[in-house]
Structure 1
């Protein structure tokens, strides 16, 4: 159900071609036919006739890019240790081998920190605001980075990684929630997609290339400098986050309706108090919060609300599938046989292998950047399904090449494996990377968005922990057959996601609640209306 917003003054009743009561639909120069998901949202935007080059829209884009700094920290923290692990200076200073339980502890403690941070992130973001969540996460990352960069005993370095791990889920949860709640509705997909792509890969590239450069320094500064760089985005955020507007949806939830409306008028209505879009958004948000208040009890620690009704359970099941596939696509173990393949084609030094890793990141970044611009064009559901399907296809030759790696392999096989690794990175980045932060934040309603994303980060950390320990054991015991397991998981995952993944493009966040309350959410989410759009006037439905 939706609030009865008065938008019908420029729209015909479904299935009818009645004349528009107030204005004709233009002289033909500003009229076009389109297939849309949401008639109400399209009508409101058409009436406002937004100027995407206006100062308010450009400023809003700036806020979205600013929030991406949180993704940069996630990319830095997620990629830094894999590069540090290739540095002899770090291993020599701490006396840690390149295999063994000590190294495993250093790697895994970050995940333990993420599990801890996910418990508190929902409370902070729901209670104190989306900006506070970014600041809190940045605080932990700064402290952890300082401890790591200045550490002498190994115990201090491990403690620093744990502290950084606490901060990362706070930032990576608060930022995408902030973006989807503040972004202009018609480019929410692009904003959310670019957040994860730009954030992760800029951070990852910074980690890869800075380590590639500092690895040539003979002293301990080779690994201390990258850890100092790790804190730079966090310092920027903690000092400046208070100068950006708070999420209007969070303000509405806290009863600060006037301030929330002012933000929407300024950035969605371009200063127009009578903006049709702002009126629609305010009505929908208020109605949604009133409906959701019946389910929640206001207790931040109560996560039972996530599975309290059918709609929320459906949301959490999709969320679970997204998280599990993200962790168990097998992308991480593709690199397991990479040293063997690189040596086969003559790439043997650690410097050359670091370069290959950095180049792989560049190619993946390119794929993700292009993919972000297809999020609203292709839709979320097709990208997710094609992503699973295509990476599954790529896994077939990878599986064969991994099997050959156990014996004598040709130079051609080595080149083929490297090519498949690069192709896999490009495809998964094009289809999944733009959606990994955006899609979960979209499908969750306002009252459970923070707690749902916190649960997402918790499950992701657990899955990562399992992956970290189970995969090496499987590779040791059954070798290349581990790749076969991941191939089978691709097939299973595709069928599960085909059955439940809904389309979210072209609708406001509040309109998505209708989809999850429908008996057949997937079918409902794919319904399209054909309308005639007239800029400055509204729309008329021609084919409901």
Structure 2
């Protein structure tokens, strides 16, 4: 069996090679592979834990007393410092993932976060707490960079899209644990009311540090290092019950080799400049920067880190009510995000992105209107409507910007650019978060609900961008997706490096149409 075909009329070239009877339900090795992938997916839980925990801690008198009732500027620093730590780690993370392996990068990040959560939960001063949170962000950068790529590069082909989409969706699993653990401990009169949630943030990292040593490495990384026999063994063991001659395995293996051999020659000569060297790569970079910024600047940052401040604008000051709504909201979000991840291959990425933008714009406008009405009339019904629209806004957000931002970014990046491009993606997210975390509390304090108007305008721009630039990648392998962005000359180079096509003429016409 030759190497991978380019997509023809939207169908993946490997689709006919998949055994319909081989599923995670009845195949032991695919089940085990998905278990390893689940261990990688919970990396996102650590990040989700943070936002929800900080929301909860800000509502706790015990935490407020311990850190001298931080004002809006200090709150901004306390929230932003994790992302500042992430920014410091970003320049190094792709070299670690590409140099010593995806798995090793996750282990390094997990080990760093275990140390950091111990320091955070034992903090005796605000400086110690800030330092620990910085270290959490630093370690999380390496863990996220390796884990997300390892999920995409290990998954069985028919499960790759749902699983990579599930990666960011599990952000809410950490948020749920944080929200409800904070709710459960807020009546403890001592500092353990905030130390216990702080310590729980390290659980995913502890699990990874103990178990991931025994998991598989990325076959794409192994091929890039000349360890072809190991790569073939990983593919065969998990995707074909150990049969190295299976047509699917030969297809995947040859496609990976051909794509890496070609792309390595280009990428090594230009390094980071390869991200902007060709029109296709510039288009990739534009899309990944945009969706990274959109993911944090769609109004969701208000609720993710400053829900208690939002509650104050509508007169909800009771700590029990604040924590209860926070906990319910995270469960709501997780349910919608998982449902959307399961439908990625059925509905398609483009439809989900556009639908998400339409829903967010509609419900954020309604939230703004009701917030304004409460400010004028002090109506309880207006306050309750704001809460309802927050839930509906997040439903819209969760159908695309939770499950797709990581999976779509990894899909559109070819192997040599994947680590560097994903680093740029995370860099933009960190910048957006830092900006949000400094600006949001100050803006909410000074102008209240009027600040929402800025996000309404921005959401309209997001809708325009997604309609114009998001390309559908449904049903394609990682290697095949590259042909949607590269011109015919690049596709011809791929063919010349040994990647056969089902029909070159039809394939080029399909690429041109896309």
User: 1:478 deviation in Å?
Assistant: 4.6
Q: For residue 342 of structure 1, report the CA deviation from its aligned partner.
A: 5.2
> Which of 435, 451, 458 does residue 404 from structure 2 map onto?
435
**Shift of the alpha carbon at 1:4?**
5.5
Give yes or no for contact 1:173–1:450 (8 Å, CA) kept in 2: yes
Partner of 2:11: 38
Match of 2:453? 484
Say if 1:420 and 1:200 are closer, same or farther in 2 by CA, change over 3 A. Answer: same
Note closer, same or farther for the CA distance 1:175–1:418 as it changes in structure 2 (3 Å cut): same
Alignment CA distance shift 1:395-1:6 (3 Å): closer
What whole-Å deviation, never above 9, does each CA across 1:358-377 have from its counterpart, x for those lacking one?
11111111111211111111
Alignment match of 2:267 (pick from 248, 271, 296)? 296
How far, CA to CA, are the matches of 2:3 and 2:96 in structure 1?
A: 33
The match for 1:27 is none
Counterpart residue number, 1:125: 97
8 A contact 2:4–2:14 mirrored in 1: no
For the pair shown, the structure with the greater C-alpha radius of gyration is: 1
Aligned equivalents of 1:350 and 1:6: distance in 2? 57
- The within-5 A match list for 1:62-73 is 62-73=35-46
User: Counterpart in 1 of 2:187?
Assistant: 216
Whole-angstrom distance in 1 between the partners of 2:57 and 2:380: 29
Q: Tell me, yes or no, if structure 1 residue 164 matches structure 2 residue 136.
A: yes
Q: Is the 8 A contact 2:3 2:258 kept in 1?
A: no
In structure 2, how many angstroms separate the alpha carbons of the residues matched to 1:51 and 1:465?
A: 42
Match of 1:79 in 2: 52
1:298 offset after TM fit, Å? 7.4
Structure with greater proportional helix content:
2
Report SS of the residue matched to 2:91.
helix
- Name the structure 2 match of 1:20: none
**Are the counterparts in 2 of residues 60 and 267 from structure 1 also a CA contact under 8 Å?**
yes
- Per-residue deviation, residues 277-324 of structure 1 (Å, max 9, x unmatched): 11111111111111112222279xx42222222221111111011111
Structure 1 counterpart of 2:493: none
Q: Which secondary structure state, in structure 2, belongs to the residue aligned with residue 447 of structure 1?
A: helix
**Which whole-Å CA distance do the structure 2 matches of 1:158 and 1:479 have between them?**
27
Q: What do the CA deviations read for 1:172-193 (whole angstroms, capped 9, x no partner)?
A: 2221111111111111111112
Q: Secondary structure of the equivalent of 1:115?
A: helix
Alpha-carbon offset, residue 412 of structure 1? 1.5
Matching of residues 51-450 of structure 1 within 5 Å: 51-52=23-24, 53-97=26-70, 99-197=71-169, 199-297=170-268, 302-333=271-302, 335=307, 336-341=309-314, 343=316, 348-450=317-419
Cα 1:218–1:477 change in 2 (3 A) is closer
Cα separation, 1, equivalents of 2:206 and 2:101: 19
* Separation in structure 2 between the aligned mates of residue 247 and residue 320 of structure 1, nearest angstrom: 25
Alignment match, 1:513: 482
2: CA distance between counterparts of 1:7 and 1:153? 59
Find the aligned partners of 1:103 and 1:470 in 2 and give their Cα distance. Answer: 11
Deviations 1:417-451 (A, max 9, x none): 11101111122112321112211111111111111
Gap regions ≥5 residues in structure 2: 491-506
Task: Give the Å deviation of 1:235.
Answer: 1.5
Q: CA deviation at 1:482?
A: 2.3
CA contact (8 A) 1:337 1:405 kept: no
Cα offsets for 1:198-232 (capped at 9, x unmatched) = x2111111111111111111111111111211112
Contact persistence 1:205–1:362 (CA under 8 A): yes
- 1:494 is displaced (CA, Å) by 1.5
Residues 123/350 of structure 1: CA separation in 2 closer, same or farther (3 Å cut): same
Determine helix, strand or coil for the equivalent of 2:377. Answer: coil
Q: How far apart are residue 476 of structure 1 and its match?
A: 4.8
How many angstroms apart in 1 are the aligned matches of 2:226 and 2:370? 59
Partners of 1:321 and 1:497 within 8 A in 2: no
Stretch moving more, 128-137 or 227-236: 227-236
> What is the aligned partner in structure 2 of residue 21 from structure 1?
none
CA contact (8 A) 2:313 2:371 kept: no
CA gap 1:443/1:7 in 2 versus in 1, 3 angstroms: closer
Equivalent pair of 1:194/1:434 in contact (CA under 8 Å): yes
Query: Compared with structure 1, are the counterparts of its residues 7 and 128 closer, same or farther at alpha carbon in structure 2 (3 Å cutoff)?
Result: closer
Paired with 2:123 and 2:327, the residues of 1 have a C-alpha distance of: 26
- Choose 330-339 or 212-221, whichever is displaced more: 330-339
- How far apart, in 2, do the equivalents of 1:54 and 1:337 lie? 48
Contact 1:475 1:482 in 2 (8 A): yes
User: 1:185·1:507 contact (CA, 8 Å) conserved in 2?
Assistant: no
Secondary structure of 2:141's partner?
helix
Distance of 2:255 and 2:385 partners within structure 1: 53
1:362-397 CA distances to partner (integer Å, 9 max, x unpaired)? 111111121111111101111111111111111221
Distance 1:459 1:244 in 2: 30
TM-score (norm 2): 0.89
Secondary structure, in 3 states, of the residue corresponding to 2:90?
Answer: helix
In the aligned structure 2, how far is the partner of 1:163 from the partner of 1:450?
21
Q: 1:163 to 1:374 in 2, by over 3 A?
A: same
Q: Structure 1 40/138 Cα, relative in aligned 2: closer, same or farther at 3 Å? A: same
Contact 2:107–2:212 (Cα < 8 Å) also in 1: yes
- The DSSP-based 3-state class of the residue aligned with 1:460 is helix
